[in-house]
Structure 1
Amino acid sequence: MRDGWSHQPAAKGGCQCGAVRYSLPAGPKKATLCHCRMCQRASGNAFVPLLELPSADVVWHGAPATWASSSLAERGFCATCGTPLFYRSGDTTEIMAGSLAPDFTFTPTANHGIEARMPWVNHIAALPDRETRPELVASVTSHQSEES
């Protein structure tokens, strides 16, 4: 198997509104974190957790919109709710791990694009953990799809 790739279970996921879903078969996948500036801007975040697999293995339910973010790749998202879903280059697709079902175990094996890593990211592990207040969670009416 190629460096960093491991056998992973089948998975599913999709966007917030449920208009675009996908399923992934069991098999070789690679879990990484990308800190490059393009991923930061595409996600609105400091880094992107990505699950890479052959593009032919992704089964889409609903069509994602795409945008050519560079001459090398395109990014996929839901045209209805805007959820970022993937980065695709050549014959590989890298699924945004936040769009995977919550029961999928995502364990990154490498950091990429570290030349643009935000300096404060190194301090995340030392920050105190706090759960969302239960009374706040109970008062929220979610418009997100309940489907994983």
Structure 2
Amino acid sequence: MNTLDTVQEGGCACGAVRFRVRAAPQRVGLCHCMTCRKIHGSAFGVYAVFERGDVEFSGHTSVWESSQTGRRHFCPVCGSVAFMDYLSSPEIDVPLGAFDRTGIYRPTYELWCRRREPWLTANGRTEYQEDRPQ
């Protein structure tokens, strides 16, 4: 990825929340946990994980405490997931579907595979039955 490709933009479905990333992600993965399944209304969520300082947001978000340490930020107008962060982490997880361009990042691992739909395959990605080791 060249320098021009590292700057990417995206936002929620209605456009009230926007973001810009200025670096390549630390990693990109699929998550099959029940929370991701339910908030995305899909069989999994896909996130690009960035250093907090590499992502800039505009617009107001509401926050749902999805766990003791996890916070999911979403647009209060359309309900789109804007990003996810953890209190003890310097990283932010941005859903791939929120980026304006497609095909910019490829997932390399999957979390919570014990919850994966049986008709999905890993397709060569690293699999974790639950969360990734720290």
Question: Please, which of 82, 92, 112 is the counterpart of residue 85 of structure 1?
Answer: 82
Q: Which residue does 1:114 correspond to in 2?
A: 113
What TM-score, normalized by structure 2, do the two folds share? 0.79
Question: How many pairs are equivalent?
Answer: 118
Letter of the 2:96 counterpart? A
Indicate the RMSD between aligned Cα atoms, in angstroms.
2.2
Paired with 1:18 and 1:110, the residues of 2 have a C-alpha distance of 29
Q: Which residue does 2:64 correspond to in 1?
A: 67
Q: Which residue does 2:47 correspond to in 1?
A: 50
Aligned-residue sequence identity (percent) comes to 31
Structure ranking higher in helix proportion: 1
Q: Which residue does 2:16 correspond to in 1?
A: 19
In structure 2, the gaps of 5 or more residues are 122-134
Letter of the 1:64 counterpart? T
What TM-score, normalized by structure 1, do the two folds share? 0.72
Bigger-Rg structure (1/2): 1
Say if 1:76 and 1:86, in contact at 8 Å, map to a contact too: yes
Say if 1:46 and 1:121, in contact at 8 Å, map to a contact too: no
Letter of the 2:108 counterpart? T
Alignment deviations for residues 97-126 of structure 1 (CA, whole Å, 9 cap, x no partner): 00011245120111111121111223xxxx
